[in-house]
Amino acid sequence: QAQLRESGGGSVQSGGSLRLSCEPLMNDGCMGWFRQAPGKEREGVAVSDGSGRTTYAESVEGRFTISRDKARNMLILKMDSLELEDTAMYYCGHDKYNWIGGCPTGPKFFKSWGQGTQVTVSS
């Protein structure tokens, strides 16, 4: 299993931006960003496959952008227009399975995880 490392979390005011990074970039299967708020289940935020196909959770569509930085060997999550509800621990996940129809967003489909990075949005 991949050893993933997230970075870039922090505290920001509502409406602000943050950029999360996950190393290393895995070219097989699916990689994605997930989050878990206190008392809630882990949920998918954005996923990407090796061909660049992406899927976003409805709650972040238009505000978050997932991308693959091959030069830096990183998976990036750019988060704009952050809202209080975005406060959570954010995790990077990977799975080697190649989905024909694009990567699923459910955490149960991912086998490798990082330790997480905290994102806190305040008013």
Q: What is the 3 state secondary structure string of 7-68?
A: ECCEEEECCCCEEEEEECCCCCCEEEEEEECCCCCCEEEEEEECCCCEEECCCCCCCEEEEE
Question: Once rounded to an integer, what is the mean pLDDT over residues 88-116?
Answer: 95
**Residue 117: strand pairing partners:** 90
Query: Containing H/E element for 98?
Result: none
For 33-68, the pLDDT digits (tens) are 999 999 999 999 999 998 889 999 999 999 999 999
Q: Over 80: is that where the pLDDT of 1 sits?
A: no
Identify residue 102 by its one-letter amino acid code.
G
End-to-end CA separation in angstroms for the chain: 39
